[in-house]
Structure formats: structure tokens, C-alpha cells
């Protein structure tokens, strides 16, 4: 397809597509002559992924470029490609290492991973943005006088393990490695907010069931 058709099918203006091409987010099309290139379904799929990340996920262009670089790096095993792509997404900043609440929360969350029997996650705690987010949130609760430790969080962790199984089962229904990693990235950008919304709706439902409207 030509640029105009790619624009029409994707709903993205030709000017924006050209911008993505200049920024290296979208691979160049097959050059037909000096002024015309041809694009295929891979370009269309990638363009939709880019738009989802930027428009819905509010991911900066530079971060999108980094994430897509990991998605396309077929020199890495799947687990490393997946981890590198997700870790490139916007994350919470590094906390103060000398903060007593951070130190206590880190020890407690390491204990949580041990309780859950997650040795691979436990081995990555020094580098994992997800673990850092967990520690920062736990530390904030501690400052407010609420100590959510392994005992309270382990049941949630076991439920999340089931969610992870569903995530990867769905990812494996796609054929190419690039598609698999793209699905994982979309999960971080779009599915995680959906799960958060479902959590809140479930709370509303259960709260109303227990206490009514009065």
C-alpha cells in the first residue's frame, strides 16, 4: 500500500507517519522510485502499536523508540526481549537508599517474594522497576502507619500469578516473536489500566453488596 492508504487504514495523518519514519519508530517502506515507497501489513500493525503507546499510554517518543528497539532485537532470548521492552517503559524514580521506610519496605517485599516462591523475581530485585514500584508503594503505606507486608500481600501475589499465566498464554497464541513482544508491551500500556479499572469496579460491586447505598 502507498502512504495515503496506510494513513487512511490507520487513521494516522501522513504528516505524523512521516514524523515517525524520521524518528526511527517506523521502518522505511520498500522504495518503488525516488519519491514513492510501498508499505505492508507489518507497517500498519506497528503504526497502531506506536499510536497506542503515544496516544493512550502517554509514552514519550524517545521511550517508544527504546521499547521498539528491544521488541525488534531478535538477538536476545524471548524472556530478555520481553523484560528489556517492559523495563524501558516509564517507571518510578529510584528511592532514597538511606530512607528507613524504604529499607524496611525493601526487606518486607523481598520476604514477600520468598513467601510466594518466586526465585527469578527475587534474583532481579536490584534491577527490576516493578520491584522498585512495589517497594516505594509499601514504604509510603508504612509512613502512613499501614504495614502491608508479606502476610497481607501474598494472596494478591498468588492471584497475580494466575493473571501472568493468562497473559503469557495469550501472548503465545501469536506467531512471530515480534508480535509476542508487542502483545506484552500493549499489555503494559493498555491491559494493566483495564485490570486496575476492573479491580475498582469489583470493589464498588462488593462494597454495594455488603453495605448497600445507605
| Residues 109-151 pLDDT 10s | 999 999 999 999 999 888 888 899 999 999 999 999 998 999 9
Sign, CA dihedral 126-122-74-53, equals: negative
Alpha-carbon distance 171 to 191, whole Å?
13
What is the percentage of the chain residues whose pLDDT exceeds 90?
A: 40
Determine the pLDDT at residue 127.
Answer: 83
- Residue 42: pLDDT over 90: no
- Residue 200: pLDDT over 90: yes
Q: Residue 38 is inside which H or E element, if any?
A: strand 37-38
The neighbouring-strand residues paired with 30 are 38
Return the C-alpha cell found at 146: 499501614
Task: State the average pLDDT over residues 181-199.
Answer: 84
Provide CATH 1.10.1660.10 ranges for the chain. 3-56
Determine the pLDDT at residue 22.
Answer: 92
| Residue 153 binned pLDDT confidence (cut-offs 50, 70, 90) | very high
| Residue 90 binned pLDDT confidence (cut-offs 50, 70, 90) | low
With contact defined as beta carbons under 8 Å apart, do 203 and 101 qualify? Answer: no
Where do runs of H (alpha helix) occur along the chain? 3-10, 14-22, 41-51, 61-71, 78-87, 100-116, 119-123, 129-143, 150-171, 177-186, 192-211
Determine the pLDDT at residue 51.
Answer: 87
Average pLDDT, the chain: 87
Determine the pLDDT at residue 163.
Answer: 92
- Residue 68: pLDDT over 90: no
Task: State the average pLDDT over residues 162-188.
Answer: 84
Give me the CATH code for the 3-56 domain, please. 1.10.1660.10
Alpha-carbon distance 139 to 102, whole Å?
5
Return the C-alpha cell found at 5: 492508504
- Residue 156: pLDDT over 80: yes
- Residue 168: pLDDT over 90: no
pTM for this entry:
0.76
Number of C-alpha atoms within 13 angstroms, CB side, residue 63? Answer: 14
Amino acid at each position: 500500500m502507498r502512504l495515503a492508504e496506510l494513513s487512511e487504514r490507520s487513521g494516522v495523518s501522513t504528516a505524523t507517519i512521516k514524523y515517525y519514519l524520521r524518528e526511527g519508530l517506523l521502518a522505511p517502506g520498500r522504495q518503488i522510485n525516488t519519491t514513492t515507497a510501498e508499505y505492508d501489513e507489518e507497517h500498519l500493525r506497528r503504526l497502531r502499536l506506536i499510536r497506542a503507546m503515544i496516544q493512550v499510554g502517554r509514552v514519550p517518543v524517545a521511550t517508544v523508540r527504546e521499547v521498539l528497539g528491544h521488541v525488534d532485537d531478535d538477538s536476545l532470548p524471548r524472556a530478555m526481549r520481553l523484560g528489556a521492552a517492559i523495563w524501558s517503559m516509564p517507571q518510578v524514580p529510584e528511592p532514597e537508599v538511606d530512607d528507613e521506610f524504604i529499607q524496611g519496605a525493601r526487606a518486607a517485599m523481598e520476604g514477600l517474594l520468598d513467601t510466594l516462591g518466586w526465585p527469578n523475581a527475587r534474583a532481579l530485585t536490584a534491577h527490576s522497576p516493578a520491584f522498585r514500584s512495589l517497594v516505594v508503594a509499601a514504604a509510603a503505606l508504612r509512613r502512613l502507619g499501614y504495614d502491608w507486608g508479606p502476610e497481607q500481600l501474598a494472596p494478591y501475589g498468588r492471584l497475580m500469578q494466575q493473571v501472568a499465566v493468562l497473559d503469557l498464554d495469550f501472548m503465545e497464541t501469536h506467531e512471530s516473536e515480534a508480535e509476542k513482544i508487542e502483545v506484552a508491551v500493549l499489555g503494559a500500556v493498555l491491559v494493566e489500566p483495564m485490570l486496575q479499572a476492573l479491580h475498582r469496579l469489583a470493589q464498588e460491586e462488593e462494597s454495594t453488596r455488603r453495605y448497600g447505598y445507605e
